[in-house]
Amino acid sequence: MNTRREFLHKATLSSLAVSLPFSDSLAAFNSVQEDKVLRVAIMGLGSYGTRVAEAMKDCKRAKLVGVVSGTPSKIAAWQEKYGIPSKNCYNYENFDQIKDNPDIDAVYVITPNSLHKPYSIRVAKAGKHVICEKPMALNAEEAKEMVEVCKAAGVHLLVGYRMHFEAKTLEIVQRQRAGEFGKTLFFQGLSGFIIGDPSQWRLNKELAGGGAMMDIGIYSINGARYMLGEEPIWVTAQEVKTDPVKFKEGVDETITFQMGFPSGAVASCLSTYSLNNLDKFFLNGTKGFAEMQPSTGYGPIKAWTNKGPVDAEHITHQTTQMDEMAAILLDGKKSIIPVDGEEGWKDMVIVDAIYKAVKTGEKVKLG
């Protein structure tokens, strides 16, 4: 049965179509569509959750309306800062009650990696759309289960790939697809920084699922795929560890890895927690090249090709991400570079293969 809101929405569109010329009625329809706002709760109120919340202040299509945290003081602080009503505040024990809250559409899971799967599944079973921060899971098996549970629950699963909406990134991807660089045969991805506090969860195997690869290296994996426009068919990888005290067993410090693609293109990448100034993508083809540095940082991104600089306005990545995800969830918009659960699962298949290649020293075939 249609709700009163749906009835009024349809009636408004019908009256617009009768009273206005087609072009005007279409514009009015789009305006009505854009009035819809995605109401989001953030789960995990750490540093990145805060970054997303701040970015959402400037969103046109997404609004922060709820929080989930195990720390009462954080909930109180966020309530005051962002005007969040008490009825939209949850802890990890009572969180499942969110299913009875019609004022929340989606939950953005921004927890340590090992909690992505269990909490995303709880969100899905509560009937809410899932936005999960990358990496979406600890491995491909977990990622596939998340995809299947969300499908069964009839909710969307999106992964927090903010770079998929960044203007300069999209410009280079579209130029590559248009053939501007000729046949693209080489990609280089350098992803790394010097990690600080040795006691943080990112250096805890049980919480992070690994080390630099799970946090920063996945940008080069994902970047190679969307920059080359192909899926790899093999990987090789080598690990270097200079500080076994800080980087314990199962927590990778530095991994160099290579990927091969059906066209004959190859990718050469570095993932590390021990070097700064590495945020770089380089794409080379038979007719030209593209380079980005920084390529995945919070910005502004700098990009240029053999034809000169790539210009585009810098907008906070998470602001654009959340507005675009709102359009995906509310309007059925298709993103140029996918951000769905299948996309996240593909990255995890490659991560699994890289860890296997490190362990065995062999080329690991994919697909």
DSSP class of 88: G
Confirm if 67 and 88 have CB atoms less than 8 A apart: yes
DSSP reduced 3-state for 227: helix
Question: For the CA atoms of 17, 19, 22, 25, what is the dihedral angle to 10 degrees?
Answer: -60
Please, what is the Cα angle at 205 between 355 and 275, to 5 degrees? 70
The question of whether 241 is a catalytic residue gets the answer no
Question: Annotated catalytic residue: which of 90, 119, 161, 219?
Answer: 219
Which of the following is catalytic: 117, 134, 168, 280?
Answer: 134
Element (H, E) at 38: strand 38-43
138 Cβ partners below 8 Å, 6+ apart?
A: 113, 114, 116, 117, 209, 210, 214
**Residue the block writes with tokens 């570095």:** 270
- Quote the CA–CA distance of 340 and 78 in Å, as a whole number: 28
How many C-beta atoms lie closer than 10 Å to residue 358's C-beta? Answer: 19
Question: CA-CA distance, 255 to 273, in Å (whole number)?
Answer: 10
Known catalytic membership, residue 219:
yes
Q: Is residue 90 classed as helix, strand or coil in its secondary structure? A: strand
Q: Report which of 287, 285, 237, 277 is spatially closest to residue 257, judged by C-alpha positions.
A: 237
Q: Find, among 284, 281, 283, 300, the residue nearest to 292 by Cα.
A: 281
Residues ≥6 apart with Cβ < 8 Å to 307: 288
Catalytic residues: 134, 219
